[in-house]
Amino acid sequence: MPPDVDMMAMLRGRRVVVVAGAGGVGKTTVSAALGLGLAAAGARVAVVTIDPARRLATALGIPELGDEPHRVEPAVVEAAGMRMTGTLDALQLDPRATFDRLIAREAPDDAARDRILRNRIYRHLSGATGAQEFMAVERLHELVDSGAWDVVVLDTPPARNALDFLDAPERMTRFVEGRGLRLLLGPRAGAGRTGWRALQAGGHMVMSVVERLTGAQLLTDISEFLQSFDGMYQGFSDRAAAVHDLLASDSTRFVVVTGPRPEPASEAVALWRRLADERYPLGAVVVNRVHPEPGTTGAPDGLAGLLRRAGAPDPEGLASRAATALEAARARAAADAHEVGALSHALSGPPLAVVPALAEDPVEVAGLAQVTRALSGGARDPGRGAGVAPPPDQARRQTT
């Protein structure tokens, strides 16, 4: 296996940490554990998660997560054996509330704002799944802008394409700009001003077809929607550019999370390469839930005797089943080690952090702290790491 990396040292001083990866690999857990580690090391940290509501809340001992940041009690963290020198806040993305705030900020006046907020197309748009990716980066931008936190950790939404959120601001800007739509809708949506008059003949024809399919009401609503966005595209497109600049700057690090299985690993490789191609600042790849080696290669030949001494009714049978369990644990560890090696080879170079599999997924701070320790380069050396002491029950909770 490759050497462990201390991610807290790597991420120290960054303002944004984006955690990406395939679904089901433990992105939320890794985001929370990174937030915990950075806060323990002294930073004022905000962790932004997507949904469902109780995910991070459960793990952080917060009753529920809302759109506004919620402080994690230092006592909860300290009870898990960690010193907390910074602060840790967590919040859950509310795409609609974030979108409404964006409209309020960008609208030229109150009347324009209300017109948009009431529009049926807008109500639909702000609740659609595509808006979630856009609003995740918008919320990130808001939090960074506020200056209230040293670092914001973003747990990215479960998207079909794990990097959809990178294009989201531009895609959404294109939609509200509605060049294509304006062209099709013609004078109704003020397309005359775009100077594409020459192309409008074809546009009319396309639109009359669309109108036949959707009915006229929808087109009227869309026209109103686009007209109420008049004068706001510049704001939207400036915003999209600012978000892109922030994500591409040296203040940001991308962390790709995967599991020791071929499918998420190949997605992680694709993600990493795309990030590298587009020159986003790369942090590390986290391989989550790796089964550790049982620690010995010998055969448990004396087990039946020991079990007989312990009073087991069928010591031979039990010893044989236990030996099978040991073989299975070894096979699992070997398969995971092979997967980590293959990933390291495929990526040739980036730092790899390995998080050992826990008996259960962390649903409280004590469990998260173990992940934090592993991410601090302490998987095999629990003494190291950013102010993290191993909790007393560490050995019990690890699968063997």
Partner 1 sequence: MPSPPLTDRRLVFVLGKGGVGKTAVAAALALGLADRGHRTLLIEVAAETRTAAVFGTAPPQDAPVEVRPGLFALSVDAERATQEYLSIQLKVRPLVEMMSRSRAFHQVTQAAPGLAELVTLGKIWDLATAVRDGRPVWDRLVVDAPATGHGLALLQAAASVRDLAGSGPISDQADAIERVVRHPAATGVVVVAIPEELAITEAAEAVAIMHQRDLPVACAVANAVRTSPFGPGDADALRAVLADPAAGPAERAAAGAALATVDGAAHDAREVRALGDGCALPVAVLPVVPDLAPGSGGIERLSAVLMADPALGGADAS
- Binding of partner 1 by 274 (CB under 8 A): no
Residue 50 or 255 having the CB closest to partner 1? 50
CA torsion angle for 144, 147, 7, 281 (degrees, to 10)? 40
Size of the site for partner 1 (CB under 8 A): 87
- The Cα–Cα gap between 78 and 80 comes to 5
Tell me which residues in 209-238 interact with partner 1 (CB under 8 A).
209, 211-218, 221
- Tell me which of 35, 86, 158, 169 binds partner 1, using CB under 8 A: 158
- Compute the least distance from the CB of residue 360 to partner 1, in Å: 6
- Tell me which of 2, 81, 260, 264 binds partner 1, using CB under 8 A: 264
- Tell me which of 63, 110, 160, 348 binds partner 1, using CB under 8 A: 160
Please work out, in degrees rounded to the nearest 5, the angle formed at the alpha carbon of residue 50 by the alpha carbons of 45 and 55: 85
- The Cα–Cα gap between 65 and 87 comes to 16
| Largest CA-CA distance found in the chain, in angstroms, rounded | 94
State the CB neighbour count (10 A cutoff) for residue 349. Answer: 10
Joined tokens for residue 15: 């303002």
DSSP string, 12-60: TT-SEEEEEE-TTS-HHHHHHHHHHHHHHTT-EEEEEE-SSTHHHHHHH
State the binding string over 72-111 for partner 1 (x if CB under 8 A, else -). ----------------------------------------
Identify whether the C-beta of residue 318 lies closer than 8 Å to the C-beta of residue 307: yes
- Compute the least distance from the CB of residue 86 to partner 1, in Å: 26
- Compute the least distance from the CB of residue 319 to partner 1, in Å: 8
Tell me which residues in 366-395 interact with partner 1 (CB under 8 A).
none
- Compute the least distance from the CB of residue 166 to partner 1, in Å: 16
State the binding string over 31-70 for partner 1 (x if CB under 8 A, else -). --------------------xxxxx--x------------
- Binding of partner 1 by 334 (CB under 8 A): no
- Tell me which of 128, 241, 334, 346 binds partner 1, using CB under 8 A: 128
Parallel/antiparallel/unpaired status of strands 352-356 and 87-92:
unpaired
- Binding of partner 1 by 130 (CB under 8 A): yes
- Compute the least distance from the CB of residue 359 to partner 1, in Å: 6
Burial class (CB in 10 A: 0-12, 13-18, 19+), 204: middle
- Compute the least distance from the CB of residue 121 to partner 1, in Å: 7
What is the chain's percent helix, strand, coil content, to nearest 5? 55, 10, 30
